[in-house]
Amino acid sequence: MVVKINTACTVGLDACDVAVEIDVVNAAQSCVVIVGLPDIAVKEAESRVKSAIKNSGYTFPSKRVVVNLAPADLKKNGTHFDLPVAVGILAEEEVLESEKLQNYAFLGELSLDGEINAVRGVLPLVMGLKESGIKNIIVPENNVKEAALVDGINVYGANSLNEVVHHFIDEPLKPTSINLDEYLNNALADDFQYDFKDVKGQQKAKKAMEIAAAGAHNILMVGSPGAGKTMMARCFKSILPPLTKEEALELTKIYSIAGLLMGKEHLIVNRPFRAVHHTASANGIIGGGTTPKPGEITLAHRGVLFLDEMVEFPRPVLEVLRQPLEDGYIVISRAKNSITYPAKFILLGAMNPCPCGYLGDKEKQCTCAEFQINRYLSRISGPLLDRIDLQVDVTRLTSDELLNMKPADETSKDIRERVIKARKIQAERYKNDGILTNSELNTKLLRKYCKLSEDCEKIFKTAIVKYGLSGRKYDRILKLSRTIADLEGSADIKPPHIMQALQYRISEVTEMANK
């Protein structure tokens, strides 16, 4: 008799049902054959399962065990197939009644002694199994809180194969449940290591970062060494609004698949801040591998991707950011499959204005030749700069600002409250449009929500002629104006909002790069 056990596998951020079919047949030699496009980790389940069953006190069949992972044309990867295979074999040996297993699914990696280890991708797997109608699921104890984030399915955590067996015989496991809203509220952190109250001066740059956080706009800071660019970048996380429940679950799925949870955290509760070194490869940033895994832009989804010393990144690496910055997702294509990962992140860049770092500095003279400056700035292409909404010059602090040891009157908490208020306005405005922030507005929605008065149109006409604005630049300035208006609580975009947006959009250094 063939036994069928329910489980699943991940394809990108989604899950596909997998039926583990077990058949034990007479053969001259005892062996385990696993078919159905298993990867190396799945094939190695043979040794782990065999030892786990024997060391748990049960008899492994002295026959030929055939394991089919259906559908057979879907690539299977991961170690979570160990537990369903072992349960299926024990059902074939009549240790377990197969009828009791029909409404259950199983996930888990087995140790040789029968212990069940944590696996990656549990949250999306449980979500997929729930959608398929599975009512009960057994997962490793170290993954149980992650799995319990999904409502509408009974989640049981087990430490060993013996516990799973006894669950169906005489000692039922207790289901685990979590109140997601309560968990999210209790886990939110208000005390950040870096606070804008400790940043001296730089009022213009601080305001630019507030606008960037409020509308999820990309921002580039350009200035001399020691002006405070990196410090402000570290403070940026402290003014970002809290995650919504949907955003928290989406991020947790991403980090679970990437193997960055593994029992350490159960839910991502704060927006990610990914600081990438300039030696990172293009695949490291966008994702890749034989079985494509999420890259830095996906790990920064709904958060921040920080590129310090941005011009030190190889130009080909920077250019791969253009498409996800525009579309909000990345498609990783391989010969056998194509995976789409979300990538709606805030790009936060910092750079010096020239190789020596002192171009335009009022205190120290630049020593770079013109061709060196041009070559340096040309590492960031015009099309990439077009996708950066705010480009702000960070100037050297004056002696009075440096000597002022008194903290600023405005803290990150004060700024964050204004950002949250602006985000709530956007959430209400776009509740039927499938977007969350002004930066996600497309052309159709721009016409709907960013209507201009005659005075505003006159300002734009002058700006288009003076600065040679492209269509993309015009749209991004319009989005920026919408965010500035939201921060001020204005229902309409007014001339001062456009003037301020133009001020933050046109940087002296980045204009030189465009030339």
| Model confidence band, residue 469 (pLDDT cutoffs 50, 70, 90) | confident
pLDDT in tens, 75-120: 899 999 999 999 999 999 999 999 999 999 999 999 999 999 999 9
pLDDT of 468 over the 90 cut: no
Co-location of 173 and 198 in the same domain = no
Co-location of 350 and 212 in the same domain = yes
| Model confidence band, residue 360 (pLDDT cutoffs 50, 70, 90) | confident
Co-location of 237 and 293 in the same domain = yes
φ, ψ for residue 351, nearest 5 deg? -155, 160
What is the average pLDDT across 279-301? 90
Q: What is the pLDDT, as a whole number, of residue 187?
A: 61
Domain coverage including residue 356: 187-430
Distance of CA 211 to the CA centre of its chain: 22
- pTM check: above 0.85: yes
pLDDT of 354 over the 60 cut: yes
Co-location of 142 and 193 in the same domain = no
Q: How many domains does the chain have?
A: 2
Beta partners for 332? 339
**Of the residues 370, 397, 430, which one is the last residue of a structural domain?**
430
Look-up of token digits 């009828």: 99
Q: What is the pLDDT, as a whole number, of residue 139?
A: 97
Q: What is the pLDDT, as a whole number, of residue 506?
A: 63
**Of the residues 122, 157, 178, which one is the last residue of a structural domain?**
178
pLDDT of 350 over the 60 cut: yes
- Report the distance separating Cα 292 and Cα 284, nearest Å: 11
- Report the distance separating Cα 471 and Cα 464, nearest Å: 10
One-character DSSP codes across 385-425? HHT-SEEEEEPPPPHHHHH--SPPSS-HHHHHHHHHHHHHH
Q: What is the pLDDT, as a whole number, of residue 479?
A: 95
pLDDT of 514 over the 80 cut: no
What is the average pLDDT across 352-358? 90
- Report the distance separating Cα 343 and Cα 334, nearest Å: 19
R_g of the chain, CA atoms, integer Å: 28
**CATH code where residue 295 lies:** 3.40.50.300
pLDDT: is 266 or 160 the higher one? Answer: 160
Bin 246: left if φ > 0, else alpha if -120 < ψ < 50, else beta. Answer: alpha
Co-location of 163 and 192 in the same domain = no
The burial of 303, by beta-carbon neighbours within 10 Å (0-12 exposed, 13-18 middle, 19 or more buried), is given as buried
**CATH code where residue 68 lies:** 3.30.230.10
Q: What is the pLDDT, as a whole number, of residue 450?
A: 92
Weakest-pLDDT range from 47-51, 52-56, 394-398: 394-398
**Of the residues 409, 430, 451, which one is the last residue of a structural domain?**
430
Weakest-pLDDT range from 35-44, 183-192, 438-447: 183-192
Co-location of 309 and 204 in the same domain = yes
Alpha-carbon torsion angle 464, 469, 473, 477, nearest 10 = -30
Sign of CA dihedral 424, 426, 427, 432: positive
Residue 426 lies in a domain: yes
pLDDT of 142 over the 90 cut: yes
Bin 434: left if φ > 0, else alpha if -120 < ψ < 50, else beta. Answer: left
Co-location of 249 and 375 in the same domain = yes
pLDDT of 255 over the 70 cut: yes
The angle at the Cα of 332, spanning 330 to 335, to the nearest 5 degrees, equals 160
